[in-house]
Amino acid sequence: MKFKEKFACLSDRKVSSFIYLQVFFNAMITVLNIFVNTFLLKAYGNTSNEVMIYNLIMAITQPIAMCTSFWISRRVGCLLTQRIGFGFYAVALILMCIFGEEIAFLYPLLGILISFGAGYYYAVYSVQMLHYTNDGNRDAISGVLTVLGTVISLILPIVSGYITTVFNEFIGYKIVFGLVALIAFAALFTTTKLPKIDTCQNNIRFLNVFKTICNNKNGRNIMLVNLLDNFRSFTIGMYITVVVYRIVSNELLVSTIAGVGSILTIIGAVLYGVVVSKKNRAKSILIATIFTLAACCSMWFKLNIWTLVAFFLMYSFFNIFIAMPVLNTHFHIIEQDMGMKDAGAEVHTVREFFVGLGRILGILMIFIAPQNDFGTALVFAVLVASALISAILIKRINSTSGKTF
C-alpha cells in the first residue's frame, strides 16, 4: 500500500476529530503519570510507599469504574459518559491545584477520581476506535495518534518540570495541575465535534459478553495478551519515574529524560505506521522485545542514573512496536472474528479486568522483589521479557483468525 493511500483516512472529519481528542487526552495523562507520582514522593519522602499504594488503588478501581460507565452510557449515550469522565479528572486536578501539599494525604481519593475518569474515557474510546476506524487503516491511525500525542507530550512534561523546579515548595505543582485542567476542558470541548454513536444504548449484557469471550480461544488469548501488556507497560512507566526521582530528586531532570524519550517514541511511531501491518505484528513484538532486553543488561552491571536512562530511551523507542500490535490485534479479534463491534463498551470492560489484574501483578512484584539494585534490575528484566509471551500468543491468534472455536 502506498504512503498516500495508507494515510488518506486522515481527511475524514470524524477521524480527524477523534485524533484531536486523543492528542489532548494523551498530553493530559502524560503529565499526570509523571507529576502525580513525583508530587506524592515529594510530599511523603522518596522512601515512602504511598505512590505505589496510589497506583495500586487506581489499578483496582478502574475496572469498577468501567462497569458503571457502560451501564451509564446505555442510558445517557457514549459521548456524555466520556464527558462525565473528564469531570472526574477535573475534580482531582482542581483539588490539587487549590490545596497543593495539603491534599496529598487524600491520595486514595485522588486515585479513585483519576481512575474513574480513565474508566469512563476508555470505555467510550474502545467504541470510538471500532466505529471511527477499521482494520485496514487502524495501524496508520495508531501511528499518527502516537506521533501527534507525543509531540505535545514532549513539550508539556519539560515545561511542567521547569515550573515545579523554579517555583518554591508546591506552588509549581499547583500551576502545573491548573494547566492540565485546561487541557482536560479542551478535550471535553472536542467531544462536541464527534458524531453520535447510538450503539451504546443496546441491550447487550456484560456477563454474556464476558462468557462469550472466555469461551473463545482467540478471545481468551487476546485478553491474556492485554494482561501481559499492562503488566509490562504500566509498571515500567510508573516505576521508572519513581526510581529516577529517588536518585535525582529533580522534577526538571525527570521530565527532560521523559522528553527525550518522547522524541524517540515519535521516531518509533513514524516507522511503525509505515512498516508494520497485520501480517507482521507478532514479529514486531519479538524484535522490539529482544532489543529492549539487551538494554536491561547494563543495569545488571551497575544501576545508576546513566544505565536507567539508557534503558528508558531504548524502551521509549521500541515500546510502540509492542503496544500497538497488541491493541490493534485486540480490536481485530473483537470486531471481525467475534462480531462484537456493537458491544464495544462491554468488551472493553472485560478487557479492563485483565488490564487491572496485570497492573496489580506488576505493582505486587515491585513490593516482593528485593529492595536493592539487583531487585530493581530484575523487575525491569521480567517486565520486558513478558512481551515474548505476547508475541507467541499473537502469532497463534493470527494463524487461527477467522476460525470458530
Three-state secondary structure call for residue 404: coil
Cα–Cα distances (Å) from 395 to 63, 225, 280, 284, 390, in that order, read 28, 11, 9, 11, 9
Model confidence pLDDT, tens digit, residues 250-286 = 888 888 888 888 888 888 888 887 888 777 888 889 9
* pTM assigned to the model: 0.81
Distance in angstroms between the alpha carbons of the first and the last residue of the chain:
32
Provide the CB-side half-sphere exposure for 140 (13 A, CA).
Answer: 18
Cα–Cα distances (Å) from 201 to 10, 77, 403, in that order, read 28, 7, 29
Could you tell me the pLDDT band of residue 202, with boundaries at 50, 70 and 90?
very low
Could you tell me the pLDDT band of residue 195, with boundaries at 50, 70 and 90?
confident
Model confidence pLDDT, tens digit, residues 281-337 = 888 899 999 999 988 888 888 889 999 999 999 999 999 899 888 888 887 787 666
Burial status of residue 109 (CB atoms within 10 A of its CB: 0-12, 13-18, 19 or more): middle
Considering only residues 178 and 282, tell me which one the structure prediction assigns the higher pLDDT. Answer: 178
Q: Residue 79's pLDDT is what?
A: 85
Instruction: Answer yes or no: are the C-beta atoms of 222 and 397 closer than 8 Å.
Output: yes
- With CA atoms as reference, report the closest residue to 87 among 121, 134, 63, 62: 121
